[in-house]
Structure 1
Amino acid sequence: MSQRTLPPFNPFCLTVFAVAMSASPWCAAESAIDFAIPAAPLADALLQFSETSGTKVFFSSQLAGKLRGNAVQGRFTPQQALDKLLSGSGLTTQTAADGTVTLEKSAKPTEPQSAAGTTTLPSVTVLGKTLSDPNDPYNSDYRPPNASAATKTDTPIMDTPVSIQVVPRAVMNDQKTTTIKDALENVSSIRPQSSLGLSNAYIVRGFRNGRVYRNGLVANGLGIGEGAQFDSANLERVEVLKGPAAVLFGRIEPGGLINLVTKKPRDEAYYSVEQRFGAYDFYRTEWDATGPLTGDKSLSYRFSGAYQNNKSFRDFNFNDRVLVNPSVTWRPSDATEMSLELEALHEDYQVDRGLFAIGNRPAPIPVSRSFIDPNDPVDTNSKVNLGFNLSHAFNDKWTLRNRFLASFIYDKNTSVKPANGFTVEQFFDPSTGNRRYARNIFSQTSDNETYTTNLDLTGKFKLLGVNHQTLIGVDYLRAVGRYEFYGNYQDPVPGLDIDIYNPQYGIDPSYYANALATPSDDGANHYLFRDDWYGAYFQDHITLWDKVHILGGGRYDWARTGLGIGNSASAADAALPSRRDEGFSPRVGVLYQPWAWASIYGNWTTSFGANNGITASGATINPEIGEQYEAGVKTEFFDQRLSTTLAYYHLTKENLMTRDFNSPDPFASAAIGKARSQGIELDMAGRLTDEISIIGNYAFTDARITKDFSGLQGNRLNNVPEHSGSLWLKYDIHHYEPLNGLSFGLGMFAAGQRQGDNDNTFALPGYARLDAFASYTYQLGKSRLITQFNIRNLLDKTYYESTDPFQNAPPRVGIYPGAPLTAMGTVRLEF
């Protein structure tokens, strides 16, 4: 039986793990052993190591302090397992003749030896922070310490005077998310805003953001469609940088930046395969394989992906999706690293036209009811991302990084839809008691390609006794989007009207043939979108007295945008206008850390976003300008296991572009004028104990139109609840032998009432959704088997997630409901 003892003397206080010892010393115990140690506080991780290996480990209680041990999963020799557990901790091991092991700080002077041959350590103070590897596939921590891709530096979140939240892989595994929409429910002030049921755009701090970044570069194009789904199978984490991020990333909405960090090749072998099955004929297979390709580990690979096939709680909807993500990394020297990665996704699906509003509420019909048709042709979309990354360290202070990403996205869909679909006219027939509405058939194709790259030089130096971390960079983006559509999107087609309370389905295929042969909008059905964007930026992070952090920087942009319209692709190209804009975006932030566990910060920042759209008269639109003031407090409680951020912000945006509801042209835009969003956010993530993990948030958001040419002043921005939040708790049993390996969790996700459109003509009711899961981990030799059961919407509540942002329909005829009670089982093998 193992026990933990504390010798009664001080300051030479040693913690000793006394376990039953093998007769052989450490040096003779080189056979491999199966380890299953999760990432945990160092003292607890070492206790589990000693229990598994039968080896005494001596260390100073103060030396262990607040350090955390890395996860050790698999078959290793004791020496290999201990090295992995301590990796990055700044600690080394000393082995005595009797096989006992003593920990000490790296590069410390030799200590006097005791008669027993073990080192006696004085009490020490551990400076700095030791962090477990956030990319370790066995890491179960809910609190990643930094978000390097979102800030472009390795500065800890606690030292950065902006609000940053991270959803790690561990949370996605526990909640069994399949797209980033579900992962982002764990972050304050983020709301999904789908179009045609695809999870491809979000509202952040009140403002819609149709661009998602991938490893710091734009991952979807522009124009209609905004790209395919973002599957979670190849993601390491999702980062959210709140507020205007244009100073580092260029054209981005002022609400914030969503950045996806993909899985990278590792130099340690790891393999996993997972099978999920659930309600509505849901089947999903995920895989992940990584490891070295050469003996010196200079070349490594990773191949992850997923295949998913499912129906839906919505009538006639389905999804058949495959994702593959191969990548390789080459490290020719300790200073240089190059990686090449390919992401390819293809899916066949059926668009979801959603439900509609009657009066000021969603229509009182089942959320399963769909008003597309079972004879609608199968829709398809695909994307390919090709990325290259290079980093070279000139020395331990200066590093040069280059990123490149080419993105190709194609989507084609055809569906029956409400007539007058691009206006706000009444589409119900009053003579039928508002129970029948007219429909037509519409088909659209979008083809987007985006090329983006940047070059960053980062350095650390001391000037006049002051520490600096400097970033200088340039970037370039070129995006081209082609779009064409067919069918009569405006006028009703005789014979296609439908009774919303007693629908009859089965449209004759000839209707589709006629629609696809009819160019819409008098033949001007080809659109060409184009962006060219150059940017130069700088940033300096100054640290004074190890307590004050000053972040300053700015960016200058040169942008050229255009939108051409014609009756063919060549005509649209010839009609492409060109508008040039340029502007400077500064940012400054200050953070004061009076105690190691608390930081107080504030920032002021602006953003510049060229508008790629035209008004009904054909005029271009002035650039969008964003400005934000923010103040907040960051804390780390429970021995730095739990981090929290409390923030207040005031954010304004001028020349807010939206669809012109008064124009028959579905692509005519108008500038609302000015909108303001202000609110309070609370985010938390980490561990309360080594067995209880938590991630949660709350947001109070007041987002309104403050200046508008058509009289919308004072209206709330659509789909933004005044109150929203979530709380997810997980309990892992580690210290009760009969139940070790059992985990279970419970989560609540809630949002208050939201306006369905900017005219505030109807509202979506508030809701609270309850989710739960339980899992059990079995150790099978050097492998482990995990079984898990998840339930989403445990109480089977009816709720509505969002409305269409007038991307493919007016909000009143594009209301997207949430799923009812949904169960999912999972079996996962790791080896």
Structure 2
Amino acid sequence: MSLCFSLAALALPLPSQADSTAVNGETRAFSIAPQPLYGALSALAEQSGVQFVYNSELVKGIDSPGVSGLYSLEAALTRLLKGSGISYQFNNGNTVKLEKNAVAEPLTATTMPAVTVTGKSGYADSDPYNPDYNRTSASAATKTDAPIMETPVSIQVVPRAVMNDQKTTTIKDALENVSSIRPQSSLGLSNAYIVRGFRNGRVYRNGLVANGLGIGEGAQFDSANLERVEVLKGPAAVLFGRIEPGGLINLVTKKPRDEAYYSVEQRFGAYDFYRTEWDATGPITGDKSLSYRFSGAYQNNKSFRDFNFNDRVLVNPSMTWRLSDATEMSLEVEALHENYQVDRGLFAIGNRPAPIPVSRSFIDPNDPVDTNSKVNLGFNLSHAFNDNWNLRNRFLASFIYDKNISVKPANGFTVEQFLDPSTGNRRYARNIFSQTSDNETYTTNLDLTGKFKLLGVNHQTLIGVDYLRAVGNYQFYGNYQDPVPGLEIDIYNPQYGIDPSYYADALTTPSDGGANHYLFRDDWYGAYFQDHITLWDKVHILGGGRYDWARTGLGIGNSASTADAALPSRRDEGFSPRVGLLYQPWTWASIYGNWTTSFGANNDITTSGATINPEIGEQFEAGVKTEFFDQRLSTTLAYYHLTKENLMTRDFNSPDPFASAAIGKARSQGIELDMAGRLTDEISIIGNYAFTDARITKDFSGLQGHRLNNVPEHSGSLWLKYDIHHYEPLNGLSFGLGLFAAGQRQGDNDNTFVLPGYARLDAFASYTYQLGKSRLITQFNVRNLLDKTYYESTDPFQNAPPRVGIYPGAPLTAMGSVRLEF
């Protein structure tokens, strides 16, 4: 959108006050310090109750002298705009339009009647200058524009402003701001998360699956091209298909804009960290029917972990063509390539992580460089038949490739039996393992949305279909279980330097079992509907359902051809309903409840070769949503009870390290509190708390009653930011402090060891310089300010048993950055 709606009535007076000041020209006290013009206008809106409408480019780089004393609204506005070359126009309603070289109409009762308005952010959600931490809508919940306050499900949004302030580089760090989400890496890659107790290996991108099937689950998700991260809590299968019942993570990428914006940022920090980010967007044609965006990042760094490093580049070109006022088409390409070193993590001794430095690694400096890459090709077509009915088609093709080779603990199930008692349990055996994963995913959907009235009742209806096809090829070489003589290592005094011939031998060594080729296939069809009914502007009923047809298969062999020949085919189908009710007694408060289910076909086999029945999820949820301070601060308090049947896990009793078993049934229940927004025009906040009780409730191998792995009973975070606007010598200075905490967690489903709880303190300070119409922002961030030792997660038996795949968090890490926006 070319207009940035400065609907900045942030603390509205009573209607009578607005009428007295605006219509009759009465004077009142204003106190607005000299500051950037956009901040001064926001303060004036808050103190007067008007809304300003203007293009963000209009005020960029312009300072205001402020205003202090008794003035009429018109006089106060005139003083704020002094020397800016901007004039104003009072429109019908409580709005004021700002424009260049326009003539303002006189302020009269005719041109500006008294109107009660709702205060909103001074920026469009997609505006790159938007500093707000809260968002009032999210596309992931209903695939419509329904506000979060009117939607009877729990939804959280982490906007670009938070990612900028916290200097996140992957979505793992951004998701720390949302309740009930825990990272669960594999090989040190940030590619999967636990949501409400259940692990979710699939991340969505603009509403479509963004990573493939099989081992590894895909490349990293860099944050450089993201506008926001949306989280829909609970089963989301009704609109999105195959997804874990804990919730859905949806990445919303930056879109082309029809007004120019450019930025470049350089970061530098501990462990030889260097990162360059860029973002450029604007119109290509004079009529703005064709626009572009090109964003991306290059990052090169070492690690606090010995021998680990990363060399990553991300490019994201996109283009939007507005064929007419009703039709728009977009094309987007995302390409990421990284050279890195896999991280095998640490291991447990007894019921705790081994008492060794978190920096210590048991891979080797002679390990070959590993490679990870992905390409996403996205297409979006939308057409508005009229003001009420719209048709949208999306398509996404995702190609992900990963190849790595590393030295690893010799046994596939536990490390402790390989500790040599004769050396005081100092040494353990290792072997060398190589794997290659190549995944392709094609997914598309077609959605028809419409608004209409039937018998006096408002409806917002969605009808849609989608299709997903995914193919994953996986192969591995070397020993994953038997020790290789000569590779033993002393865990307290390690000696490194493996002869390169060991790696060459591993690449020609067949697997222990002989079958080292896996072929995964998914074909998924879905049809769904949804109706959002509004009664008396206070009651919102959300109902809908989805029917799925799924065909899955996993073939195993000693070559690609034999794996293809052995590929079984299983067909499943099922219906997933969702109903929700929300009551909004006041504009600032909503009470809601919902019941929903999910259907997820299991593309895996047991040790006997049998396929596994579909996973079925079910959730009951109730909660309260609020919007305080004229929508500046949003909160959600929710209670949920969530169950999942036929939960898959690795079969520890099978000699095949990739064999799976359905442990029966698991249950997660808890309480969540999320908040985001501004307490005042200077203090911003985003925080959360979660109490989670996640357990295995039905099992056939002795796990009944055990806690689900990596799920703390108590967790949460609080991030506060203070922007100085009203003290002229320090205007432009911002600083913030964040606390991120989690209680102790079970490291595996067998509950044989625990990860200790932790609290991590982060901080930042920044200063914004106005350079004409440009901004220069210098910033300094410190992560883990108190240098605490903590452990983030364990491997989910994706690439290692949990006991030998413990991933520690980084110690004290400092980062500086300089960003120029113009």
**TM-score, L = length of structure 1:** 0.90
2:360 counterpart residue number:
369
- For the pair 1:44 / 2:35, whether they are aligned, the reply is no
Alignment equivalent of 1:291, drawn from 276, 282, 296: 282
Once the 2 structures are TM-superposed, how far is the Cα of residue 780 of structure 1 from its aligned partner? 0.7
1:825 counterpart residue number:
816
- For the pair 1:357 / 2:348, whether they are aligned, the reply is yes
Partners of 2:18 and 2:363 in 1: CA distance: 74
Answer whether contact 1:603 1:630 (CA < 8 A) is retained: yes
CA distance change for structure 1 residues 124 and 797 in 2, over 3 Å: closer, same or farther? same
Alignment equivalent of 1:119, drawn from 92, 98, 108: 108
1:471 counterpart residue number:
462
Alignment equivalent of 1:316, drawn from 307, 322, 339: 307
Answer whether contact 1:274 1:827 (CA < 8 A) is retained: yes
Answer whether contact 1:69 1:132 (CA < 8 A) is retained: no
1:104 counterpart residue number:
91
Once the 2 structures are TM-superposed, how far is the Cα of residue 585 of structure 1 from its aligned partner? 0.2
- For the pair 1:625 / 2:616, whether they are aligned, the reply is yes
Alignment equivalent of 1:306, drawn from 291, 297, 304: 297
Answer whether contact 1:290 1:303 (CA < 8 A) is retained: yes
- Output aligned runs, 1:80-91, within 5 Å: none
Report the secondary structure of 2:447's partner residue. strand
CA distance change for structure 1 residues 423 and 500 in 2, over 3 Å: closer, same or farther? closer
2:586 counterpart residue number:
595
The one-letter code matched in structure 2 to 1:230 is: F
Report the secondary structure of 1:521's partner residue. coil
Once the 2 structures are TM-superposed, how far is the Cα of residue 242 of structure 1 from its aligned partner? 0.2
What percentage of residue pairs aligned between the two structures are identical?
A: 87
Partners of 1:484 and 1:813 in 2: CA distance: 22
1:28 counterpart residue number:
none
- Output aligned runs, 1:559-574, within 5 Å: 559-574=550-565
- Output aligned runs, 1:706-721, within 5 Å: 706-721=697-712
- For the pair 1:262 / 2:261, whether they are aligned, the reply is no
Once the 2 structures are TM-superposed, how far is the Cα of residue 422 of structure 1 from its aligned partner? 4.3
Alignment equivalent of 1:516, drawn from 497, 507, 510: 507
Partners of 1:423 and 1:668 in 2: CA distance: 16
Alignment equivalent of 2:726, drawn from 713, 732, 735: 735
- Output aligned runs, 1:508-657, within 5 Å: 508-657=499-648
Cα deviation code 1:160-190 (max 9, x no counterpart) = 0000000000000000000000000000000
Once the 2 structures are TM-superposed, how far is the Cα of residue 123 of structure 1 from its aligned partner? 2.6
Answer whether contact 1:13 1:123 (CA < 8 A) is retained: no
Partners of 2:22 and 2:280 in 1: CA distance: 48
Q: After alignment, is 693-702 or 636-645 more displaced?
A: 636-645
Partners of 1:293 and 1:76 in 2: CA distance: 24
CA distance change for structure 1 residues 577 and 14 in 2, over 3 Å: closer, same or farther? farther
Alignment equivalent of 1:705, drawn from 692, 696, 717: 696
Answer whether contact 1:63 1:123 (CA < 8 A) is retained: no
Partners of 1:71 and 1:296 in 2: CA distance: 19
The one-letter code matched in structure 2 to 1:770 is: L
Report the secondary structure of 2:116's partner residue. coil
Once the 2 structures are TM-superposed, how far is the Cα of residue 618 of structure 1 from its aligned partner? 0.4
Answer whether contact 1:608 1:626 (CA < 8 A) is retained: yes
Q: After alignment, is 193-202 or 775-784 more displaced?
A: 775-784
CA distance change for structure 1 residues 70 and 697 in 2, over 3 Å: closer, same or farther? farther
2:157 counterpart residue number:
166
CA distance change for structure 1 residues 219 and 461 in 2, over 3 Å: closer, same or farther? same
- For the pair 1:277 / 2:277, whether they are aligned, the reply is no
CA distance change for structure 1 residues 100 and 373 in 2, over 3 Å: closer, same or farther? closer
CA distance change for structure 1 residues 432 and 596 in 2, over 3 Å: closer, same or farther? same
Answer whether contact 1:626 1:654 (CA < 8 A) is retained: yes
1:61 counterpart residue number:
48
Partners of 2:536 and 2:19 in 1: CA distance: 37
Partners of 1:393 and 1:794 in 2: CA distance: 51
The one-letter code matched in structure 2 to 1:539 is: Q
The one-letter code matched in structure 2 to 1:118 is: L
Once the 2 structures are TM-superposed, how far is the Cα of residue 434 of structure 1 from its aligned partner? 1.3
Partners of 1:626 and 1:193 in 2: CA distance: 21
Cα deviation code 1:117-136 (max 9, x no counterpart) = 43233432126967731100
The one-letter code matched in structure 2 to 1:104 is: N
Partners of 1:244 and 1:496 in 2: CA distance: 46
CA distance change for structure 1 residues 281 and 77 in 2, over 3 Å: closer, same or farther? closer
Once the 2 structures are TM-superposed, how far is the Cα of residue 72 of structure 1 from its aligned partner? 5.3
- For the pair 1:143 / 2:134, whether they are aligned, the reply is yes
The one-letter code matched in structure 2 to 1:491 is: D
The one-letter code matched in structure 1 to 2:334 is: E
- Output aligned runs, 1:665-676, within 5 Å: 665-676=656-667
Answer whether contact 2:61 2:772 (CA < 8 A) is retained: no
CA distance change for structure 1 residues 485 and 104 in 2, over 3 Å: closer, same or farther? same
CA distance change for structure 1 residues 308 and 582 in 2, over 3 Å: closer, same or farther? same
CA distance change for structure 1 residues 399 and 787 in 2, over 3 Å: closer, same or farther? same
Alignment equivalent of 2:243, drawn from 220, 238, 252: 252
Answer whether contact 1:247 1:553 (CA < 8 A) is retained: yes
Report the secondary structure of 1:523's partner residue. coil
Report the secondary structure of 2:672's partner residue. strand
Report the secondary structure of 1:426's partner residue. helix
1:498 counterpart residue number:
489
Answer whether contact 1:676 1:704 (CA < 8 A) is retained: yes
Answer whether contact 2:600 2:616 (CA < 8 A) is retained: yes
Answer whether contact 1:444 1:486 (CA < 8 A) is retained: yes
Once the 2 structures are TM-superposed, how far is the Cα of residue 781 of structure 1 from its aligned partner? 1.1
Answer whether contact 2:89 2:105 (CA < 8 A) is retained: no
- Output aligned runs, 1:675-824, within 5 Å: 675-824=666-815
Cα deviation code 1:733-752 (max 9, x no counterpart) = 11111111000000000000
Cα deviation code 1:46-102 (max 9, x no counterpart) = 69xxxxxxxxxxxx93444xx898855765899xxxxxxxxxxxxx99x9xx99735
Once the 2 structures are TM-superposed, how far is the Cα of residue 533 of structure 1 from its aligned partner? 0.1
Cα deviation code 1:531-563 (max 9, x no counterpart) = 000000000000000000000000000000000
Answer whether contact 2:18 2:114 (CA < 8 A) is retained: no
Count of residues in Structure 1 that have an aligned counterpart in Structure 2: 777
CA distance change for structure 1 residues 522 and 454 in 2, over 3 Å: closer, same or farther? same
Report the secondary structure of 2:510's partner residue. coil
Once the 2 structures are TM-superposed, how far is the Cα of residue 667 of structure 1 from its aligned partner? 1.1
Answer whether contact 1:41 1:69 (CA < 8 A) is retained: no
Answer whether contact 2:427 2:490 (CA < 8 A) is retained: yes
Report the secondary structure of 2:620's partner residue. strand
CA distance change for structure 1 residues 552 and 694 in 2, over 3 Å: closer, same or farther? same
Partners of 2:368 and 2:714 in 1: CA distance: 40
**TM-score, L = length of structure 2:** 0.91
Cα deviation code 1:319-363 (max 9, x no counterpart) = 000000000000011101100000000000000000000000000
The one-letter code matched in structure 2 to 1:44 is: A
Answer whether contact 1:68 1:132 (CA < 8 A) is retained: no
Partners of 2:353 and 2:523 in 1: CA distance: 41
Answer whether contact 1:71 1:139 (CA < 8 A) is retained: no
Partners of 2:62 and 2:163 in 1: CA distance: 31
CA distance change for structure 1 residues 274 and 149 in 2, over 3 Å: closer, same or farther? same
2:174 counterpart residue number:
183
Answer whether contact 2:18 2:49 (CA < 8 A) is retained: no
Partners of 2:424 and 2:416 in 1: CA distance: 17
- For the pair 1:152 / 2:143, whether they are aligned, the reply is yes
Answer whether contact 1:74 1:783 (CA < 8 A) is retained: no
Answer whether contact 2:61 2:775 (CA < 8 A) is retained: no
2:375 counterpart residue number:
384
Q: After alignment, is 155-164 or 141-150 more displaced?
A: 141-150
2:232 counterpart residue number:
241
- For the pair 1:133 / 2:124, whether they are aligned, the reply is yes
